[in-house]
Amino acid sequence: MQAERSEQLFALAQTVMPGGVSSPVRAFRAVGGTPRFIARGKGAYLYDVDGNRYIDYVGSWGALILGHAHPAVVRALREAIRRGTSFGAPTEAELALALRIREAFPSIEKIRFVNSGTEATMSALRVARAATGRSKILQFEGAYHGHADFLLARAGSGLATFGLPASAGVPSAWVQDTLVAPYNDLEAVAALFERFPDQIAAVIVEPVAGNMGVVPPKPGFLEGLRDLTRRHGALLVFDEVITGFRVGPGGAQGLYEIKPDLTCLGKIIGGGLPIGAYGGRADLMDLVAPVGPVYQAGTLSGNPLSMAAGRATLEQLTPVLYQQLEERAAQLAEGLRAAAEEAGVPVRIHRVGSMLSVFFTEAEVVDFATASATDRARYARFFHAMLTRGVYLPPSPLEAWFVSAAHTDDHIARTLRAAREAFREVAR
Ligand code: PLP
């Protein structure tokens, strides 16, 4: 497979952009090799600058549930762009998207649009702190809620602890109010509530973890969080930036029937354009300016192009489409399992709706520690074995694969043919 042009561009890019990229995982550090420079995308395919075509399972990190350049989204964008790109004033389009989201997420009585998932979580937790008059936030190890300083915390020693900065440039004071517990560990959460009575403003959780690979909540975990937060006067914040409109029409909260106080959204609701949103109980959201004392604003928030792409995307998400996604993703997961077994490669495959992960391990994966202990070097080899066979997987073992509505039975069959060879290759 030719990658000459990507190699040239990557060499030049590294002279002008850190790592040659605009976001770290794109640099292929976790799998090695040269990131492919993408020229265009259409349906299930990505095309790189060397003329290679790949069946794409990254889908702009979960944003593209309809695949690349879906005609309805392109049409909506064309129409919107003629009317202007940004007004810094209210529009009917943002109102329509807000109403559509509220219809799908009964817990969201009011919503505010922002420009990224990072802004959504940062702002939602500002509201939680204001509402409770408390300062501590509890998050889970290996979760990713964007790159706000206080959320770039990792666990210290011990099972459930104060956070330590997970990035240079984050002063320890910024994360001293961030508590970190292992995912799926209710006892650790309960222990933190005991240790810090009346101090925890909110628990923020990816209801299906997607940033340590896909790790589903154990039965009772989300219910337990709902119960503990309620009992201790804290808020429950679901970060559904990935899972919102992904694991079902009502996100993970619809799937597991849990009602959080606040929800963060992003990705799919922008149809591939920059977006984020946070929403929830009206009494909480009315704390946000201009109604309430919590300040939060944005020059490009509610951008008409993002609103148009988001609306056009959500319009396509029918029950039939979710059924089709479920079936295709199940077919893929089953096929991968069979292919790995045939090759004698131990794997654990996790899937919730159209998001899935292949962990190279025999052991159970329930949290960040167990996800990190999988054979990541083998994933890197598998990734390249697939890439050279025209299948584009996430360039990291700790990221989710996404099936889109553009993936057909034929794409899945071809992916599985490649996977049978790739598993045999990495078995050696
Ligand atoms: N929350 C979750 C669960 C995410 O997966 C991400 C990004 O991948 C974010 C928040 C941050 O979103 P953004 O990259 O739009 O800032």
**Sequential DSSP letters for 64-98:** -TT-BT-HHHHHHHHHHHHT-S--SS--HHHHHHH
118 and 261 in a single domain? The answer is yes
Find the domain containing 183 and state its range. 71-316
Of 272, 299, 316, the position where a domain reaches its end is 316
> CATH number for the domain including 382?
3.90.1150.10
Catalytic residue among 239, 261, 367, 375: 239
Residues 360 and 253 in one domain: no
Q: Which of 25, 145, 150 to mutate to test the pocket of ligand 1 (most atoms within 8 A of CB)?
A: 145
| 30 class by beta-carbon count within 10 Å (0-12 exposed, 13-18 middle, 19+ buried) | middle
**Position 98 pLDDT exceeds 90:** yes
Question: Atom 13, ligand 1: which residue's CA is nearest?
Answer: 117
> Whose CA is closest to atom 14 on ligand 1?
117
Of the candidates 54, 144, 183, 256, the residue annotated as catalytic is 144
- Cα–Cα distance, 49 to 37 (Å, whole number): 6
CB of 266 closer than 6 A to ligand 1? yes
Averaged pLDDT, 66-90 = 98
The DSSP secondary-structure symbol of 338 reads H
Number of structural domains the chain divides into? 2
> Is 303 near ligand 1, meaning CB less than 6 Å away?
no
Active site residue 392: no
pLDDT for position 161: 60
Residue 78 to residue 73: CA distance in whole angstroms: 9
What pLDDT, on a 0 to 100 scale, did the predictor assign at position 1? 86
Q: Are residues 58 and 86 in the same domain?
A: no
Sheet holding 110-114, edge to edge: 110-114, 276-280, 262-266, 235-239, 200-205, 136-140, 178-181, 161-165, 153-155
pLDDT tens digits, one per residue of 155-214: 876 555 678 899 999 999 999 999 999 999 999 999 999 999 999 999 999 999 999 999
One domain, residues 350 and 413: yes
Q: What is the pLDDT of residue 158?
A: 58
Same domain, 374 and 275: no
**Residue 117 in contact with ligand 1 by CB distance below 6 A:** yes
242 Cα: distance to centroid of ligand 1 (angstroms): 7
Query: What is the pLDDT confidence band of residue 92, given thresholds at 50, 70 and 90?
Result: very high
Q: Which residue has the tokens 């219910």?
A: 223
Per-residue pLDDT averaged across 324-341, rounded? Answer: 98
Same domain, 87 and 46: no
What is residue 24's predicted lDDT score, i.e. its pLDDT? 95
Same domain flag for 151 and 122: yes
Name which residue sits closest to atom 7 of ligand 1, judged by CA.
Answer: 146
Asked whether the predicted pLDDT for residue 424 surpasses 80, the reply is yes
Domain boundary (316, 344, 375) is at: 316
- Are residues 78 and 152 both part of a single domain? yes
CA 410 to ligand 1 centroid distance, Å: 31
Dist CA 374 CA 241 (whole Å) = 25
241 close to 265: Cβ distance less than 8 angstroms = yes
**20 shares its domain with 86:** no
Distance between CA atoms of 264 and 252, rounded to whole angstroms? 12
Asked if 367 and 283 sit in the same domain, the reply is: no
102 and 54 share one domain: no
Q: Report the pLDDT averaged over residues 125-149.
A: 98
DSSP state of 32: -
Residue where one domain finishes, among candidates 272, 297, 316: 316
User: Ligand 1 pocket, 239 CB below 6 A?
Assistant: yes
Residues 226 and 205 in one domain: yes
The mean pLDDT value of the chain amounts to 97
pLDDT at 162: 73
Report the alpha-carbon distance of residue 156 to residue 368 in Å, rounded. 14
Identify the band that residue 126 occupies on the pLDDT scale cut at 50, 70 and 90.
very high
- The verdict on pTM exceeding 0.80 is yes
